Chain A
Amino acid sequence: MAQDINLLPEITEEEVRKSTYTRRVNFVAIASLLVIGTILLAVFGYWLFLAANSERLKVQTKNAEEQILSPSLTRKEITRRSLVERLNEAGQFVSSVIPYSESIDKIIKFFSASKVSLTENEFKDSGDQTLIGEFVSPSHFKTLTDKFISEGETENFDNVTLVSLTKEELDEKTGKEGNYIFNLGMKYLKKGISGVTSSSTNQ
């Protein structure tokens, strides 16, 4: 009885597994190379798109700038800028100016009503005012200070402070009693020129 002869070389199971594994690894390697290649292509493509866009913008910007720098539009722009700048400046200025005429008007009225004489004064743009004067009777001075601190004047005068109060010596020749000399400090609160408002010009 003849025995069957196996002509095919025997492939072990391990060799079959190894070959499959090698094929898979190669496939993954090629796939990853392809993915990287695609990403690179996409990146370069996007870069080219951006570069083209940038060039297009440069050309359009140059055209727009040339249009703005044309004599007629330049004239219009200079006029508008000067106008708005000056109005802003004027607005700020009129709102910060102290209406000294109103302050002096009140001072004149208060001093003449209280029979106190004003000898010196100093006003500063911060609103600080110093009034130096003299009076004969303390009641006159009280009338004066009452006027500055009265309820109707709280929006005009604030921090009314007596800085110093001295009494002149008796005049030996005439026998006349010396006057009281005072130094009154206060803050004038009003700002802005009446009739000119600068509401929101700097918006």
Chain B
Amino acid sequence: MKKDTAAVFRIYILPILATVVVILIVPFVLLPQLDRIKIKNQEVKEGQERLDRLNKKISDLSLVDETSESVMLLELEKVIPGSKKLAPLIVGLRNMALESNLVITDMNFKPGRVGTEATNSATISSLSKKTKSQINEKGTSSQGELIFIVKVSGSLENVKKFFAKLEIAKRLMGVEVVKGEQDEEDSSKYRFELSVNAPFEPAKSEGDVVGEPLPELTSAHKSLFDQLIGLKDYTNKDVPTVKTGVDNPFE
């Protein structure tokens, strides 16, 4: 009986070994290798897509007219500056009020703070809950927003003129809340409190900037730019800069 089993094993040694090898190779070698190939394939595919994007970007960048776009950017700096630029803003507001025969009675800025914080601390008393939440939502967006309070006094007609100037001012400003009250002594006069938002666009650097495609400058952008540079500049006077971090910056 033992002799018979040994004989059968000797005869079928090859098929037995082949079966064992196949059974072991498939789960321990072939399948893991297929998984690795799948991952590598994906990696190569993504690498190829990124390389294509980079090559397209290089060709797009070579077509960019740097001089002309730098000039456009310089002009746009007056419309949406890269930083808060408080001094020209105050000069502009004063000029607009003067031209509209309005008296600015108060301006409330919070330098060093933007968006949400400035709104919370400076304007909280004068804004409704709904408006505050709206500003909070905007304050968390990527853009910078300088929100401040301006109080003006004058006739309704002059307030209208002031708004008309504010709307076409080159430094973009949006009025979020307007509160007006008739003067108790002079019924032709009104006291207005405006919550103004002046956006600015700080430089951003997020994610894979190198791999990101170059944004397209469309004809719609160009047309908007032409309209924006047609707005009126109320801050076209040089505002001298002063020393910072000293006791008396005017010395």
A residues with a Cβ closer than 8 A to B are 22, 25-26, 28-30, 32-33, 36, 39-40, 43-44, 46-47, 50-51, 53-54, 57-58, 60-61, 64-65, 67-69, 72-73, 75-91, 93-94, 96-101, 104-105, 107-108, 117-126, 193, 195-201, 203
Interface string of B177-218 (1 = CB under 8 A from A): 111111000010000000000010101100000100011111
B residues with a Cβ closer than 8 A to A are 11-12, 14-15, 17-19, 21-22, 25, 29-30, 33-34, 36-37, 40-41, 43-44, 47-48, 50-51, 54-55, 57-58, 61-62, 64, 66, 69-70, 72-73, 76, 79-80, 82, 128, 130-131, 134, 143, 156-157, 159-161, 163-164, 166-168, 172, 174-182, 187, 199, 201, 203-204, 210, 214-218, 220-221, 223-225, 227-228, 230-231
Please determine whether A65 and B210 come into contact, CB atoms closer than 8 angstroms: yes
B73 partner, pick from A69, A86, A199, beta carbons under 8 A: A86
Which residues does chain B contribute within 8 Å of A88, judged by CB atoms? Answer: 221
B225 partner, pick from A32, A53, A77, A87, beta carbons under 8 A: A87
Which residues does chain B contribute within 8 Å of A68, judged by CB atoms? Answer: 54, 57-58, 61, 210
A-B contact pairs, 9 of them (CB 8 A): A25-B15, A40-B29, A80-B69, A87-B217, A101-B160, A108-B160, A118-B182, A124-B177, A197-B227
Which residues does chain B contribute within 8 Å of A22, judged by CB atoms? Answer: 11-12
Taken together as a complex, chains A and B put the C-alpha atoms of A90 and B187 apart, in Å, by: 38
What is the number of contacts between chain A and chain B, taking CB atoms within 8 Å? 229
Please determine whether A118 and B156 come into contact, CB atoms closer than 8 angstroms: yes
Taken together as a complex, chains A and B put the C-alpha atoms of A53 and B18 apart, in Å, by: 34
Which residues does chain B contribute within 8 Å of A25, judged by CB atoms? Answer: 12, 14-15
CB distance from A183 to the nearest CB of B (A): 14
Q: Chain A binding site: helix, strand, loop or mixed by DSSP?
A: helix
